[in-house]
């Protein structure tokens, strides 16, 4: 079995390109089905295991099959995002086998994130795995890979201080807002969306006790639930154009495939504000706020990539923890590679074990069938049992006894040693148990 991965992230691809390959969680199932069809037809590999991890910082495809199909996977993803394979290749990374495991373990542990040690990515990876399971795209190999990823991530978080000095995107947004406004208690803050990231941002901003908090969301009920927690108000997304001017800070993170806040809406808001500045943070991929807004005076717009320099400042304090985490990951990779090798059709012990089980099941079935015939004829039950046990024993020992008689003296001696170790364990006392 081969395992491979294809991905783009914040270190390899610009924001707008990442936006082309962002998949909402409800898109994962049909996307995986499309990928599996493409690999089945193009690479002639039916039953390929697949999973897709898509966040604001990365989109990664994980696959497992009899043979790797990296080029077919890249061609499919390029077509899906509407770019040429050459463009995607120049901004992506590809991994196979043990390197896939190492990467997945680092991702799950937060070592490959913009925010080193972030805890959010583990939940996002678990969501991706659940989505793959729901789509029927996950098999034993990828399931083993991801379950081991979760276990490694848990050990990293409990055994190291990898997240002790972590600065989240939400904290970075608050820090930048504090550089623009003299007192965050005097500002009105609007949050667009009601997902996990917005909830985290609300928590950080609410700690600064701003003058007013509002939540704009497509589903008013969900917005109201979040707004109630922070003593704010909820509004529908449709109200944004008419109310945008009321807010000094706007933080947006939705799963929309198109921008929610356009250039025209921001221009009108600035006129109503008489050009008082607006602080805006767009944490969504694809973007929630049109990029052209960046060009307006009196608007301070930051994207996830713009926040990178802020969140990277604490890296030096965590190098010791990173070294500890990498050691844990190394051990996890070795264990996974060993698991894969055991299941290799050439040289793996698992296929051999399966063959042995199949052979013994066949022998057992033959002897039971023979015993039933004898019983039906009225044979004595003790005689039948004796014949059954003797038949099974002879079948199991036939090949071994033949090997003991074959070959030269050295070969026979080696075979005898192996047979003794396998079959005469009780004669070795405690060491044989």
The reply to whether 422 falls in a domain is: no
The 3-class secondary structure across the chain, one letter per residue, is CEEEEEEEECCCCCHHHHHHCCCCHHHHHHHHHHHHHHHHHHCCCCCCEEEEEECCCEEEEEEEECCCCHHHHHHHHHHHHCCCHHHHHHCCEEEECHHHHHHHHHHHHCCCCCCCCCCHHHHHHHHHHHHHHHCCCCCHHHHHHHHHHHHHHHHHHHHCCCCCCCCCHHHHHHHHHHHHCCCHHHCEEEEECCCHHHHHHHHHHHCCCCCEEEEEECCHHHHHHHHHHCCCEEEEHHHHHHHHHHCCEEEECCCCCCCCECHHHHHHHHHHCCCCCEEEEECCCCCCECHHHHHCCCEEEEECCCCHHHHCCCHHHHHHHHHHHHHHHHHHHHHHHHHHHHCCCCCCHHHHHHHHHHHHHHHHHHHHHHHHHHHHCCCCHHHHHHHHHHHHHHHHHHHHHHHHHCCCHHHHHHHHHHHHHHHCHHHHHHHHC
pLDDT at 166: 65
Domain with residue 221: its CATH number is 3.40.50.720
Same domain, 139 and 254: no
- Structural domain ending residue among the three candidates 261, 292, 311: 311
The stretch 146-169 carries a mean pLDDT of 87
Average pLDDT, the chain: 89
Most confident of 104-108, 174-178, 372-376, 379-383: 104-108
Whether residue 202 lies in the annotated active site? no
The stretch 328-353 carries a mean pLDDT of 79
Domain with residue 25: its CATH number is 3.30.460.30
The reply to whether 423 falls in a domain is: no
pLDDT at 109: 94
pLDDT in tens, 5-53: 999 999 999 999 999 999 988 899 999 999 999 998 876 777 899 999 9
Same domain, 329 and 366: no
pLDDT in tens, 299-311: 999 999 888 777 7
pLDDT at 315: 60
Q: Which residue has the higher pLDDT, 340 or 281?
A: 281
Same domain, 194 and 80: no
Q: Which of 56, 63, 202, 253 is catalytic?
A: 56
Would you place residue 428 in the very low, low, confident or very high pLDDT band (cuts 50, 70, 90)?
A: very low
The reply to whether 432 falls in a domain is: no
Kindly tell me if the per-residue pLDDT of 430 is higher than 60.
no
Above pLDDT 70, what percent of the chain?
A: 93
Same domain, 30 and 148: yes
pLDDT in tens, 54-70: 998 899 999 999 899 99
pLDDT in tens, 238-276: 999 999 999 999 999 998 989 999 999 999 999 999 989
Would you place residue 339 in the very low, low, confident or very high pLDDT band (cuts 50, 70, 90)?
A: confident
Would you place residue 122 in the very low, low, confident or very high pLDDT band (cuts 50, 70, 90)?
A: very high
Same domain, 225 and 142: no
> How many distinct structural domains can be found in the chain?
3
Q: Which residue has the higher pLDDT, 349 or 63?
A: 63
Same domain, 48 and 106: yes
The stretch 86-97 carries a mean pLDDT of 96
Above pLDDT 90, what percent of the chain?
A: 63
The reply to whether 288 falls in a domain is: yes
Same domain, 63 and 203: no
pLDDT at 399: 80
pLDDT at 96: 95
The stretch 352-363 carries a mean pLDDT of 78
Kindly tell me if the per-residue pLDDT of 429 is higher than 60.
no
Same domain, 100 and 187: no
Would you place residue 433 in the very low, low, confident or very high pLDDT band (cuts 50, 70, 90)?
A: very low
Range of 247's domain?
A: 169-311
Same domain, 131 and 180: no
Same domain, 51 and 135: yes
The stretch 323-351 carries a mean pLDDT of 82
């Amino acid at each position: 079995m081969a395992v491979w991965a294809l991905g783009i992230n914040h270190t390899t691809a610009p924001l707008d390109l990442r936006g082309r390959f962002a998949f909402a969680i409800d898109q994962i199932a049909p996307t995986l089905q499309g990928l599996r069809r493409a690999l089945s037809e193009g690479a002639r590999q039916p039953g390929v295991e697949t999973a897709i991890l898509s966040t604001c910082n990365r989109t990664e495809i994980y696959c497992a099959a009899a043979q790797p199909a990296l080029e077919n996977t890249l061609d499919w993803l390029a077509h899906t995002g509407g770019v040429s394979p050459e463009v995607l290749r120049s901004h992506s990374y590809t991994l196979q086998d043990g390197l896939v495991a190492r990467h997945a373990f680092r991702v799950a542990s937060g070592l490959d994130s913009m925010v080193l040690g972030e805890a959010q990515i583990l939940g996002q990876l678990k969501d991706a795995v659940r989505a793959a399971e729901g789509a029927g795209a996950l098999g034993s190999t990828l399931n083993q890979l991801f379950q081991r990823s979760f276990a490694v991530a848990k050990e990293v978080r409990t055994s190291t201080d990898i997240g002790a000095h972590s600065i989240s995107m939400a904290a970075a947004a608050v820090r930048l807002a504090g550089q623009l406004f003299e007192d965050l208690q005097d500002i009105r803050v609007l949050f667009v969306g009601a997902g996990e990231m917005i909830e985290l941002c609300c928590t950080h901003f609410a700690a600064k006790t701003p003058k007013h908090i509002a939540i704009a969301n497509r589903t008013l009920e969900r917005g109201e639930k979040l707004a109630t927690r922070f003593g704010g108000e909820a509004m529908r997304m449709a109200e944004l154009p008419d109310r945008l001017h009321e807010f000094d800070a706007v933080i947006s993170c939705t799963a929309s495939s198109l921008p929610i806040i356009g250039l025209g809406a921001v221009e009108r808001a600035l006129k109503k504000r008489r050009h008082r500045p607006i602080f805006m943070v767009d944490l969504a991929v694809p973007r929630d706020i049109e990029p052209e807004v960046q060009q307006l005076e009196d608007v301070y717009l930051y994207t996830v990539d713009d926040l990178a320099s802020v969140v990277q400042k604490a890296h030096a304090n965590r190098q010791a923890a990173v070294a500890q985490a990498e050691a844990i990951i190394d051990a996890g990779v070795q264990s996974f590679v060993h698991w894969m090798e055991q299941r290799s059709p050439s040289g793996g012990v698992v296929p051999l074990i399966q063959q042995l089980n199949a052979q013994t099941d066949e022998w057992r079935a033959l002897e039971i069938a023979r015993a039933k015939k004898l019983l039906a004829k009225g044979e004595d039950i003790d005689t039948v049992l004796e014949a059954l046990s003797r038949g099974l024993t002879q079948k199991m020992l036939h090949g071994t006894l033949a090997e003991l008689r074959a070959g030269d003296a050295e070969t026979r001696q080696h075979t005898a040693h192996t047979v003794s170790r396998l079959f005469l364990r009780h004669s070795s006392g405690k060491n044989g148990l």
